[in-house]
Amino acid sequence: MSEVIPTRIVRKATAAPAVIVADMAVLGAGISGVSAALEGARLGRRVVLIDGAPKIGGQAIGSIIGTLIGLYTHGPDAYRITGGIASEMVADLTAEGAMFQRRSVKTGTITFQYDEVKMQRWIERKLTEAGVTILVGATMTAAVMAGRRMRHVELATRYGTVRVEATGFVDASGDAALCWEAGLPTREPEAPIYGSMNFLIENYDLDAVKELSMPDVAARLRAEGADYGLVRHEGFLMHMPGMNVMLANITHFETPLDPVAAAAMVIEGHAQGDAVLRFLKDKFSAIFADARVRVYGNPGIRQTRWIVGRQQLKVADIRAGLRPSDAVARSAWWVELHDTREETSWEAFPDNHVYFIPLGCMVPAAADNIVAAGRCVDADSHALSAIRVMGPCMAMGVAAAHALDLAGTGSLAQLDHAELQQRLSFNLDGVSA
């Protein structure tokens, strides 16, 4: 045994925060923030990626979403509309055996199941290779504006305070936390939009599960779910190939912005998950008699607070497939509004219907150097429910990086949209298999 390692006595001293200077600061390390950080670094910019969680990946990892959607149009002749980093991720994880393409027989919709552990490692490797500076476990305590420009954010970590100064900022927080903390106007829904607690089930019968019918599960939920304290009448149970686990998404709960209520939400989500398992063990015992919960994800939050942009994307715009002059991304996902406890409100579009996301809905009206990406851009509740899924979120993250790169020390209001769109042509006009 080696000698005892000596120690020293220290006491916290009042000190100035550590300062990090960057070209781009990205707040939120979910799929939109990761995409913005990667693209910004590949453009040669110094990028800092910040998240309050102790790991990166956001809901794509922590909430065990498990399904990558929104990369393709719908229908029998569906084609991919989002490329770049998204294509790279699909190719790499598919080659690893960590991502599997699924196609709906009924709608032709193409989605991908993925192993969230391997996706997390892919994200970490790519960010490291790109030279992105990463701060996790960093809670924002202040966002400081000077006129119409954000100057810096202040962060609390268990290792001390940090100030990040940057030329441009991406609000990929999901809840418009950057803009909210800066005192900029934001929107909140006046009626609840529900979240879900996803979890993994293990030790079920791998042969009997082949006979599982989600319409049968939904019918039993409608008839008998209330006996178990369950409120949602649909959702999905999805066996994950090669992992021998099942992803469960059959819960609904309100997602408050109050900190105490948010903690209670987590406990409620776990309780609903336990109730789901009891229901399955009783009603589908041939499959789930010996099943157990392997792990709960973090709460899956859909729509809570978003920016007030220079314009708002409307559901009428996406129905019409309008292409605005400042379009920066495409989407094809249907309206998927979780506005009741019991069911999801869907609005399907015709096969291969495509619509566009304008830069104006990503830029706060009151700021010159902030771009939002992901589920906190400015759209009405129905339009936001369609563009908040992972495919368009990745496209928005990439667009945010290019917009800030072009703006430099100037204003986003002065961008040459034609030049920006030329850079983003692979996500605006490119068609891939």
Task: Give, for 292, the enclosing helix (H) or strand (E).
Answer: strand 292-296
> Which residue from 113, 109, 112 is spatially nearest to 78, judged by alpha carbons?
109
In a domain, 14, yes or no: no
C-alpha distances (whole Å) from 158 to each of 22, 139, 161, 190, 338 are 22, 10, 8, 36, 36
pLDDT band, residue 111 (cuts 50/70/90): very high
pLDDT band, residue 424 (cuts 50/70/90): very high
Domain range for 269 is: 199-296
How many of the other CB atoms lie within 10 Å of CB of 35? 31
Query: In this structure, are 44 and 143 located in the same domain?
Result: yes
Query: In this structure, are 51 and 139 located in the same domain?
Result: yes
DSSP 64-107: ---EE--SB-SSTT--B---THHHHHHHHHHHTT-EEEEE-TTT
In a domain, 4, yes or no: no
In a domain, 433, yes or no: no
- Indicate whether 407 pLDDT > 90: yes
Give yes or no for a contact between 380 and 317, defined as CB atoms under 8 angstroms apart.
no
Query: In this structure, are 262 and 321 located in the same domain?
Result: no
How many of the other CB atoms lie within 10 Å of CB of 75? 17
Query: In this structure, are 147 and 25 located in the same domain?
Result: yes
Q: Residue 342 belongs to a domain with what CATH number? A: 3.50.50.60
In a domain, 87, yes or no: yes
For the chain, what percent of residues have pLDDT higher than 70? 99
In a domain, 6, yes or no: no
Please tell me the predicted confidence (pLDDT) of residue 243: 85
Q: Which of 296, 325, 355 is the last residue of a domain?
A: 296
Number of domains within the chain: 2
- Indicate whether 431 pLDDT > 70: no
C-alpha to C-alpha distance for 419 and 317, rounded to whole angstroms: 24
Please tell me the predicted confidence (pLDDT) of residue 304: 97
Query: In this structure, are 272 and 359 located in the same domain?
Result: no
Q: Which of 245, 272, 296 is the last residue of a domain?
A: 296
Query: In this structure, are 114 and 95 located in the same domain?
Result: yes
Alpha helices in 225-379, H assignment, sequence order? 259-283, 285-288, 315-320
CA atoms within 13 A on the CB side of 20: 21
C-alpha to C-alpha distance for 296 and 292, rounded to whole angstroms: 11
In a domain, 318, yes or no: yes
Helix, strand, or coil here: 167? Answer: strand
Please provide the distance, in angstroms rounded to a whole number, between the alpha carbons at the two ends of the chain: 60
Query: In this structure, are 72 and 151 located in the same domain?
Result: yes
- Indicate whether 127 pLDDT > 90: yes
Q: Which two tokens stand for residue 20?
A: 């990090």
User: Tens of pLDDT along 186-244?
Assistant: 999 999 999 999 999 999 999 999 999 999 999 999 999 999 999 999 999 999 888 89
Mean pLDDT of 124-152: 98
Task: Using the Cα atoms of residue 183, residue 187, residue 188 and residue 194 in order, give the sign of their dihedral.
Answer: negative
Q: Which of 296, 330, 350 is the last residue of a domain?
A: 296
Please tell me the predicted confidence (pLDDT) of residue 12: 78
Query: In this structure, are 157 and 40 located in the same domain?
Result: yes
Query: In this structure, are 281 and 326 located in the same domain?
Result: no
> From the centroid of its chain, how far is CA 197?
14
In a domain, 410, yes or no: yes
In sequence order, the 6+-apart residues with CB closer than 8 A to the CB of 13 are none
In a domain, 369, yes or no: yes
For the chain, what percent of residues have pLDDT higher than 90? 94
Query: In this structure, are 371 and 258 located in the same domain?
Result: no
- Indicate whether 106 pLDDT > 90: no
Mean pLDDT of 31-42: 98
Please tell me the predicted confidence (pLDDT) of residue 83: 95
User: Tens of pLDDT along 1-33?
Assistant: 568 888 899 887 777 899 999 999 999 999 999
Query: In this structure, are 136 and 223 located in the same domain?
Result: no
Query: In this structure, are 182 and 232 located in the same domain?
Result: no
